[in-house]
Amino acid sequence: MQDDTIYRPPTAELEQPENQTDQELASRWSRLGAALLDTLFIMLLFFPLVWFVGIWDILLNESTSLSIDLLLSLGVLITYLILNGYLLATEGQTLGKKLIGIRVVDSETGQILSFAKIFGVRYLPIFICSQIPAIGQIVGLIDSIFIFRKDKRCLHDLIADTRVIKAR
């Protein structure tokens, strides 16, 4: 009797990448909740500082100059980093994401990103664009509307090649 195994097509054990099967995407509502919490935390820390320094009175009594606007934007960015920098670097989460139970990961590997990529590529470009008068609001709206795609990825997720998943 002849051995017919030499005529059989080759086979290979194929494993699905861990990120495609094990990690469930975060819901749109959980992402919205995390963003609202992050905004609340920034307001709770930043507004008292603005009031204490005296910028609050300037904002209420006169139109702001470009330098005041830039100073406020930089202050918000620094406040964001103070509140979320460590968590972003170590767990891919902001305070809001941590409380809601979601995290940002690389869309290909499912791994937590480096701080440079998560902040410099995912958050910073949209933040900078949002500071441009008139255009900034449109960019922010487009970024938010992208959440309604089937893969639930916003524009900033596509730019940085990330996705938001449920944390375990």
pLDDT tens digits along 55-91: 777 777 766 677 777 888 888 899 999 999 999 999 9
Phi, psi dihedrals of residue 164, rounded to the nearest 5°: -110, 125
In a domain, 2, yes or no: no
Q: Do residues 128 and 75 make contact, with C-beta atoms less than 8 angstroms apart?
A: no
Residue 114 lies in a domain: yes
Question: Is the confidence at residue 19, as pLDDT, over 70?
Answer: no
Is residue 149 assigned to a domain? yes
Q: What is the largest CA-CA distance in the chain?
A: 98
Q: Give the Cα separation of 135 and 130 in Å (integer).
A: 7
What does the pLDDT read at residue 3?
Answer: 62
| Model confidence, pTM | 0.78
Provide the H-helix boundaries in the chain. Answer: 18-22, 28-53, 55-61, 66-91, 95-100, 115-117, 124-130, 135-145, 155-160
What's the pLDDT score for residue 112?
92
Indicate whether 130 belongs to any domain.
yes
Whether residue 13 lies inside any domain: the answer is no
Residue 156 lies in a domain: yes
Within-domain flag for 85: yes
Domain enclosing residue 144, as ranges:
23-166
pLDDT score, position 21: 46
At 99, list the tokens. 């409380």
CB within 8 A of 38, min separation 6: which ones? 80, 83, 84, 94, 95, 96, 97
Q: Is residue 78 part of a domain?
A: yes
Confidence of residue 25 (pLDDT cuts 50, 70, 90): very high
Residue 17's pLDDT is: 52
pLDDT above 80 for 168? no
Distances from the Cα of 143 to the Cαs of 72, 110, 149, in angstroms? 22, 22, 11
Asked if pLDDT for residue 117 goes beyond 90, the answer is yes
Give how far the C-alpha of residue 132 lies from the chain's centroid of Cα atoms, to the nearest Å.
20
Structure tokens at 113: 């990103």
How many domains is the chain partitioned into structurally?
1
